[in-house]
Amino acid sequence: MDMILGVPIAVLAGQLLLGVINGAFYALLSLGLAVIFGLLKIINFAHGALYMLGALTTVVMFDAFGVNYWVSLFLAPILVGFVGVLIEYFLLRRIAHEDHIYSLLLTFGVALVIQGVLTNIYGVSGLRYSMPDVFRGGVNLGFMFLPYYRAWVIVIALLVCFGTWFMIEKTKLGSYLRAGTEDSQLMQGFGINVPLLVSLTYGFGVMLAAFAGVLAAPIYSVSPVMGGNLLIVVFAVVVIGGMGSIAGAVITGLLMGVIEGFTKVFYPEGASAVIFLVMVIVLLIRPSGLFGKEA
C-alpha cells in the first residue's frame, strides 16, 4: 500500500473526508458567529450554549412529544432562534452602543446561566437520541466506512452555508441588512424598521447554531456542556477567517476541520491545540484574518 510519512494513503483519504465533515460543523457554527459579528458587531459568546440548546431541544421534544428528526430540523432552530430574539430584544439592545467587550461579557454570562440551569436539570452524562432509521448503516468507500448520516451532514451543512452566503451577499434582503447596520439612521429614513432587522439577524445567527445542534444530536453525546469546548475552537476559526467575513468563515471552517483531522493521525496529542497554533500564525502574518478586509 502507498504510504505518506508512514501512514497509508487510504487512511489519509478517510481522514480527509472526516475532516471535511467536522469542518462542516465548524463552518455552520462560525458562519452564525460571522453573521452576528459582521452585521451587528456583537461578539456572541452564547453561541456554544445556543448550539447545545438546539441539540437538547431536539432530544427533549422527542422524549416528551415524540417529535421526529425532520420536524426538529425546522422546529428546534425556530424555537431557539426565538430565544435568540428575546436575548437581543431584552438584553443586547440595551448595550448596543457600548464597546464590543460589553456584548461579549453579556453573552458569556447568558451562556453560563443557560448551561448551569440545564446542567442542574439534565446532568452531564448525556441524553440518548436515536439515529433516524433512514440513516442507519453506511456505505463502504473502499478506504473507509462512511455512515449515511455523516454524508447527510456534509451535504445539508454546505447547502445551508451556501444559502446563507447567497442571501446576505446577493439578495435585496441581504443588501438591506448590510446597509441597515452600516448606516441605520439613513435606512430608518427610508422607512425600514432597523431594530426589527437587528433582532431578526441575531435570531438568524442563533438559528444556524441551533441547526448545527440538531445535526449533532444523533452522533454526539447531547449534554448541557457540549457547547463549551466547541465555542472556543469556533471563535478561533472566525478569527482565522477574518472577523465578519461570511465566505471566510465557511472556507476556514472546512480547512480547519481538515487540518485538525490530519493532526489526529500524525500527532494526536496536539489535535486540540493545532487550530490555535494556526490562529497565532495567521494573526502574526495577517492580523485581519485570511479573508478579512484590512482594517
Task: By CB under 8 A, name the binding residues for another protein.
Answer: 8, 10-11, 14-15, 18-19, 21-22, 116, 119, 123-128, 131, 137-138, 144-145, 147, 149-150, 219-221, 223, 225-226, 229-230, 261, 264-265, 268-269, 271-273
In the bound state with another protein, the residue whose beta carbon lies nearer, of 2 and 269, is: 269
Nearest to 150 by CA among 59, 31, 56, 14: 14
Written as one letter, the residue type at 207 is M
In the bound state with another protein, the residue whose beta carbon lies nearer, of 12 and 39, is: 12
- Which three three-digit cell numbers place residue 13? 483519504
Nearest to 125 by CA among 213, 203, 43, 226: 226
- Which three three-digit cell numbers place residue 225? 456542556
In the bound state with another protein, the residue whose beta carbon lies nearer, of 126 and 174, is: 126
Cβ 189 to another protein shortest distance, Å: 47
Q: Which residues pair with 3 in a beta bridge?
A: 8
Cβ 248 to another protein shortest distance, Å: 23
Cβ 236 to another protein shortest distance, Å: 14
Cβ 256 to another protein shortest distance, Å: 13
In the bound state with another protein, the residue whose beta carbon lies nearer, of 46 and 216, is: 216
Cβ 280 to another protein shortest distance, Å: 18
- Which three three-digit cell numbers place residue 129? 437520541
3-state DSSP helix/strand/coil % of the chain, to nearest 5:
75, 5, 20
In the bound state with another protein, the residue whose beta carbon lies nearer, of 6 and 189, is: 6
Q: Are 241 and 29 in contact (CB under 8 A)?
A: no
In the bound state with another protein, the residue whose beta carbon lies nearer, of 199 and 264, is: 264
Q: Are 264 and 182 in contact (CB under 8 A)?
A: no
Cβ 123 to another protein shortest distance, Å: 5
In this structure, is the dihedral angle defined by the CA atoms of residues 221, 206, 36 and 29, taken in order, positive or negative? positive
Measure CA 125 to chain center.
Answer: 23
